[in-house]
Structure 1
Amino acid sequence: MYHYIEVKLLDNQNNSRKTEQHSTKGPEKKKIFLTINVVIRVLQSLFVFAVVVLLLGGALGLGIGMGYFAFLVEDTQPPTKEELQTEISDISEVSRMTYADGTNIAMIKSDLVRTRVDSEHISPLLKKAIISTEDEYFEEHKGVVPKAVIRALVSDATGIGGSSGGSTLTQQLVKQQILTDETTFKRKANEILLAYRIEKYFSKDEIVTTYLNVSPFGRNNKGENIAGVEEAAKGLFGKNANDLTLPQAAFIAGLPQSPIIYTPYSNTGALKDDENMAYGMKRKDFVLFSMYREKAITKEEYEAAKNYDLMQDFQPQQESNQNTQGYLYNAVLEQATNVVMDINIEKAGVKKETLDDLGLSQYKDQARKEIQNRGYTIQSTIDQTVYDTMQNAVATYGYMLDDGYGAGLVETGNVLMDNKTGRIIGFVAGRDFNVSQSNHALDTLRQVGSTIKPISVYGPAIDQGMVGSESRLANYPTSYRSGDELTNATNSGTNTFDTVRHSLEWSYNIPVYHLNEAMKAQMGDDNFAYHNYLSKMNYPANDGWAYESAPLGSIEATVLTQTNGFQTLANKGQYQKGYMIDKITDNSGKVIYEHKDAPVQVYSEATASIMNDMMRSVLDSKITTPFKNMINGLNPAFGNVDWVGKTGTTDAYKDAWLVVSTPTITLGSWTGYDNPTAMSPNSGDQNSAYLANLANAIYSVRPDLFGAGEKFTLSKDVIKSTVSSFTGEKTGTFTYNGGTYTAPGPNVESFYAKDGAPKSQYKFGYGGSDANYSAYWGRYATPKTPSSSTPPSSSEKKEEKKKEDDKKENSTPTSSGNSN
């Protein structure tokens, strides 16, 4: 029992401890629960506070951000739709030049080759490829993907995450065409603003089409830098952008991210090696996967395109036609540049003559860049068949000019011009472009020699009614006012009064000098010929036109200018400025420029017809040039064409000229060394032989150009005066110093453009001293007293004529020479 009581007590003690322990644990649990509850409530309060802070901070940040954004774009004037259209479409495109018939001459050299195409000419596969790869949300966003912008801004601000790549196609278009690549918040803000603006005004298809037209796509198989999908398709695969296969489209779509790395071609147009080619191939596969991921293509299409051997489609290396430059390329580009420059100057409201050299050069640089980058088509006036024939002719017959007198080639410049329009049909700029790049036809200035005489003296004097074709001019030994002797080519004078026609045939210097001095005095202007005639034909302004030596051709001009002067006479006295650019159109076919005739009547029609009649005598007489003999020898039918023309040489035979015309064309020729040194005394004949062969070569391919069957005729208003062959004036009797004189015959017909021949008088010609007239009258006629003033008998006339002819035959040169 005792034991039982002990056990019981022990149990009670244990129970008592448990109860005590239990009563102790209750308050502890309450404390724990209370603590947890407090913590939770604190956390809840902190969370609410944090949310409030975040909301307030976000609102404040948003307000600050919006304010900052507004600050960044406050200087940006939102462009109109038209302005945006111009800016995003303003791309550099390759321009080209063509012959008169539209056949390509060459693509104009530029840093970038580009051709714009419309949306319907771009493969849908290509559009899907570029969208899937570059902008997967393109069809959904309004120009900007906000989360991508935030990610990009954080990356730019912190430098964490590398390149953000947050730009949509629309933003990339803004970056390429309107803004720069600089990474500033201001540029990014403007980019966002403009992207939204573009999306507002343009459809998604318009945006992606423009992007594909402006983006760079590496190089083509000629090694040229290309832009736009059309040039990419042609340059890589030899097809148009709307004909691409899926793997081809995928490859091209992958190029804009890094065009030079992914392009299959090197800068020479050769395919890259396998290692470097792999970059572009991997990029192509990524594009295909992106298209599959975006469900733009099926799995089967993806697998087939990925496994396709694209290497077989790349174009083989080809030589760039941009490097094929020569006389023609440079000439057309230069002429087109001048045309566009004049257009821009006129648009600017500036007078060209007020610009200094710097101003002109700036306008010219602007015009050249415009031509190189605007995708223009420049249609020239050049006939391809004629031009090629002329180049072959100079290569074949140019040796005829060489004389061994100087070092190197005797150069030449030739221009073939249509008389009625001034159109330049063809030209020879030089013997060999590799030897000399100077354009001797259009640019080189050389003294014109006696070819200027019909243009600056005989033409104006006849036009003013001062002389007719048979008027007489003094040809006695003469000196300039300085006392320096003036001579003809091979003599000091013929010691007679020669007719205008005869003086032109022999290309005498002394008679034309007297006529020019008389014209200046009579018109009261030392520069009369330039002010009233030469300036109208765009001869260069030069004080030398007023010099005594001007009629001998001391002034310099180009072959083009001189050919244009003779075109004026051959075109009934009407000048049509020589031109090589017929039309310029932009890439849409809009005409930027089209040549329009602007005729200037320089000489009367009567004057021009008289000059052509006299210049026919120059060639027919064969005194200064064997051109007609040579033409007849080469082709008798060609020799029947009505040819007129004039020769010219300069001191020491440094230059030799011959300009000839038919009723339809004018062909000018100059020869000489680039470094002006003496040529052979036979250089005039050599030039004639060369020009005859050149003309015959042209005739063989385009006989229609030469107007066979047409003739130069005297115009209806030419006055045909019957004159004494002795005085060149009307026959009749007159008194002088108490003596009576009768102008002896025989009578001839003299052509006048104005007024007709005057009555005979003692001093009937221009130039000559009293002693010269006394000797002339005393030698060829006898003065009569009033009681015995009978005209000479026919036998006396014949005898005097025979003496005159004998004298001239013995005293005149027998070969061409200086100033002929």
Structure 2
Amino acid sequence: MGRAASRGELPEAPPPRAAGRARAPVGWGRWLRRGIVLSIWGSIAAAVLALSLVWDLPAPEKALAATRRPALTLEASNGQTISTSGDLYGDTLRLRDVPRFLPAALISIEDRRFRSHFGVDPVGLLRAAVTNVTSGRVVQGGSTLTQQLAKNLFLSPDRSFRRKAQEVVMALWLEHRFTKDQLLEIYLNRVYLGAGAWGVDAAARMYFGVSARNLTLWQAAMLMGLPKAPSRLNPRANPEAATRRAKEVLHAMAETGAITEEQATREGERISLPRQSARNAGWFADWAQDDLAAQFPEAGDLILRTTLDARVQALAEARLEATLHGPGEKAGVTQGAVVVLDATSGAVRAMVGGASYRESQFNRAVDARRQPGSAFKPFVVLAALENGMSIDSTVSDEPLTLGNWSPGNGHWVSRGEITVTDMLAHSINTAAVRVLLRAGGPAPAIAVAERLGLAGPFPRDATVVLGTGQASLLELVAAYAAFANGGLRVTPYALSATREGTALRPLPAPPPERAMSEDDAFAIRRALEAVVTRGTGRAAAVPGRIVGGKTGTTQDSRDAWFIGFSGRNVIGVWLGNDDGTPMDNVGGGTLPARLFHDILEALPR
């Protein structure tokens, strides 16, 4: 055989079996090489995918210690919450601090397999998919409590595959990092429950006025029903929807055995939400917050006790609403404002800035500047008293003309000479002009008005006596307080104390300042009482009470005022329309005086 090869002859072919053994390593090696390459590229792809999911995730430690906006809570004088802003947090609680039925309610309504899954619940996902396919729409979600916590703590609310995948990654990390009880504690302390409240303790205090430590069963069920739609289902936004949702949670608890069906039914019947007595106190709350940055420049969370009397606020709202929807509607009146103020201190007890805060947040008690009409005349009288006149001095009520201007007296029949008191009581324009002239003209009257807090602007001519300048209702009420309290100008204020826990730290109130002599204040007060006993303001009289005040009506009944006082209360009323449309024969002595009467009559003596 060797010789044949040396002579150039072909060698004999190897046996078939030998040939088969030679090719086998080549085939298996090719598949092995392919498997190795695919596994390498698969690992690279998986790494790239994982990197794409986690490269922009926040550091978990930072998210768990999330920052928030400082919270502000405003309370009425009795401690009732009237306004919250910022991010409101309560105490950080452990599971041992809260009733057992609180986490039970959460698990029953949100994630019944929470204790058994590893952060993602395949059974729950499958069940949700089947339910959604069967219904033809999305009616059930498959997210676990851990996934919800991951989304709320770390992620945006975007609905995308990438965000959902990140949610799964973070849920797995949370389950690895924390125990089930710790996850529940984080959730209960950090979940958003509507109206600016984060966590169960803040929500319990806001909605029910109690700590989460002291929640009843139905209250716990209501709170744990909120994560589904906190802005829409919370008791402040929609009490009826909150109640329905709470009953759903109670029956879910019965299905899981956390409570009995009898308990669920009984607790559902016990649901009773506290009445929101200061429903439109938003105008007051907005006004109270105007200068907070200057007053508390470096403050964090604040709980501030205010001067607002929730009962008086509710009373003023109800009486104004009854006026606007009753006789006011017939007379073409669509808006109004009311201020109740303490005459001795300037504390604002009630402020209603319009017909409905929900429909319009514009504060007609503070920000609307309108002609005060004859409500300006007491300032003219004070200027005259300070220039030597007496409240019993007499002036002519005969017609007069100044240049091209001739003020009218309406239906008043001239008597010749009347006292300054009678001029105010019956609001006689010609006599008021003569009092203005004897006081030295417009300048002294304007100076008096500015001294008492009216900002104007004012015309620099005799028409100012008829209230052709501008003033806000709050300015007029505060100015009239000086006539009621013996001559001291008060500054309206809203904040009375800061609260830390149960301790109240009083805030300094603006001190009253002497603005007129006691004798002049007494004289004008006596004249304003005559307005009510025998003049244009008789509709404001309340039997058994000494009442003083002044009516004001502008041209064509575009504005109607009554500013009055009794005891320590100064009450101002304005009625009109935002666009200045004339009302139907509404003057200060009609609907405004009656509204003043209705409010004062219900106040304690």
Same fold flag (TM > 0.5): yes
2:584 aligned partner? 677
Indicate yes or no: 2:519 matched with 1:570.
no
2:268 aligned partner? 315
Give the CA deviation at 1:315: 0.9
Give the CA deviation at 1:575: 3.8
Give the CA deviation at 1:609: 4.4
Q: Which amino acid aligns with 1:85?
A: A
Indicate yes or no: 2:93 matched with 1:118.
yes
Asked whether the 8 Å contact 1:656–1:672 carries over to 2, the reply is yes
Inter-CA distance 315–584: structure 2 relative to 1 (3 Å threshold):
farther
Give the CA deviation at 1:329: 1.4
Between the aligned partners of 2:307 and 2:592, the Cα distance in structure 1 is 26
Asked whether the 8 Å contact 2:221–2:246 carries over to 1, the reply is no
Q: Which amino acid aligns with 2:157?
A: T
Indicate yes or no: 2:401 matched with 1:479.
yes
Inter-CA distance 388–343: structure 2 relative to 1 (3 Å threshold):
closer
Indicate yes or no: 2:10 matched with 1:57.
no
Between the aligned partners of 2:329 and 2:40, the Cα distance in structure 1 is 97
Indicate yes or no: 2:184 matched with 1:208.
yes
Asked whether the 8 Å contact 2:369–2:472 carries over to 1, the reply is yes
1:459 aligned partner? 382
Task: Give ranges in structure 2 of 5+ residues lacking alignment.
Answer: 1-14, 127-137, 233-238
Asked whether the 8 Å contact 1:477–1:492 carries over to 2, the reply is no
Inter-CA distance 53–679: structure 2 relative to 1 (3 Å threshold):
closer
2:346 aligned partner? 422
Between the aligned partners of 2:594 and 2:228, the Cα distance in structure 1 is 63
Indicate yes or no: 2:467 matched with 1:553.
yes
Please say which structure displays the higher CA radius of gyration: 1
1:719 aligned partner? none
Inter-CA distance 461–390: structure 2 relative to 1 (3 Å threshold):
same
Indicate yes or no: 2:513 matched with 1:533.
no
Indicate yes or no: 2:374 matched with 1:450.
yes
Inter-CA distance 669–167: structure 2 relative to 1 (3 Å threshold):
closer
Between the aligned partners of 1:250 and 1:506, the Cα distance in structure 2 is 62
Give the CA deviation at 1:566: 0.4
| Secondary structure in structure 1 of the residue aligned to 2:563 | strand
Inter-CA distance 477–665: structure 2 relative to 1 (3 Å threshold):
same
Between the aligned partners of 1:270 and 1:334, the Cα distance in structure 2 is 31
Task: Write out aligned runs for 1:267-666 (5 A).
Answer: 267=241, 269=243, 312=265, 315-316=268-269, 328-330=278-280, 332-340=281-289, 343=292, 381-383=307-309, 407=331, 415-426=339-350, 447-455=371-379, 457-460=380-383, 466-469=387-390, 475=396, 477-481=399-403, 483-488=404-409, 504=424, 507-510=427-430, 512-513=432-433, 516=436, 528=447, 532-533=450-451, 536-537=453-454, 539=455, 541-542=456-457, 544-555=458-469, 557=471, 559-571=473-485, 573-579=487-493, 597-599=509-511, 601=513, 604-607=514-517, 609-619=519-529, 624=535, 634-635=543-544, 638-639=545-546, 644-650=548-554, 657-662=561-566, 664-666=568-570
Indicate yes or no: 2:66 matched with 1:86.
yes
Give the CA deviation at 1:80: 7.0
Q: Which amino acid aligns with 1:180?
A: P
Between the aligned partners of 2:90 and 2:302, the Cα distance in structure 1 is 11
The more displaced of 423-432 and 40-49 is: 423-432
Between the aligned partners of 1:512 and 1:477, the Cα distance in structure 2 is 11
**Identical residues among aligned pairs (%):** 19
Asked whether the 8 Å contact 1:420–1:664 carries over to 2, the reply is yes
Give the CA deviation at 1:572: 5.1
Between the aligned partners of 1:190 and 1:507, the Cα distance in structure 2 is 74
1:102 to 67, 79, 82: 79
Between the aligned partners of 1:258 and 1:495, the Cα distance in structure 2 is 73
Between the aligned partners of 1:128 and 1:385, the Cα distance in structure 2 is 40
Q: Which amino acid aligns with 2:65?
A: Q
Give the CA deviation at 1:253: 8.6
Inter-CA distance 103–38: structure 2 relative to 1 (3 Å threshold):
same
Deviations 1:127-152 (A, max 9, x none): 887787247566xxxxx89x99xx99
Task: Give ranges in structure 1 of 5+ residues lacking alignment.
Answer: 1-29, 139-143, 153-162, 219-223, 289-303, 350-374, 704-820
Deviations 1:617-673 (A, max 9, x none): 443595535859965xx33xx45xxx6544445557776655343563323456789
Between the aligned partners of 1:480 and 1:198, the Cα distance in structure 2 is 88
| Secondary structure in structure 1 of the residue aligned to 2:268 | coil
2:9 aligned partner? none
Q: Which amino acid aligns with 1:478?
A: L
| Secondary structure in structure 2 of the residue aligned to 1:479 | coil
Asked whether the 8 Å contact 1:582–1:595 carries over to 2, the reply is yes
Between the aligned partners of 2:336 and 2:522, the Cα distance in structure 1 is 25
1:176 aligned partner? 152
RMSD: 6.7
Give the CA deviation at 1:548: 3.0
Between the aligned partners of 2:428 and 2:440, the Cα distance in structure 1 is 19
Deviations 1:534-553 (A, max 9, x none): 6x34x5x44x5435312112
Between the aligned partners of 2:51 and 2:310, the Cα distance in structure 1 is 65
Inter-CA distance 687–210: structure 2 relative to 1 (3 Å threshold):
same
Q: Which amino acid aligns with 1:568?
A: A
Give the CA deviation at 1:335: 1.9
| Secondary structure in structure 2 of the residue aligned to 1:212 | helix
Task: Write out aligned runs for 1:7-18 (5 A).
Answer: none
Asked whether the 8 Å contact 1:405–1:679 carries over to 2, the reply is no
Asked whether the 8 Å contact 1:336–1:581 carries over to 2, the reply is no
Indicate yes or no: 2:116 matched with 1:133.
no
Inter-CA distance 671–599: structure 2 relative to 1 (3 Å threshold):
same
Give the CA deviation at 1:611: 2.9
Give the CA deviation at 1:684: 3.6
Deviations 1:433-456 (A, max 9, x none): 9xx99998778876433221223x
Inter-CA distance 545–193: structure 2 relative to 1 (3 Å threshold):
farther
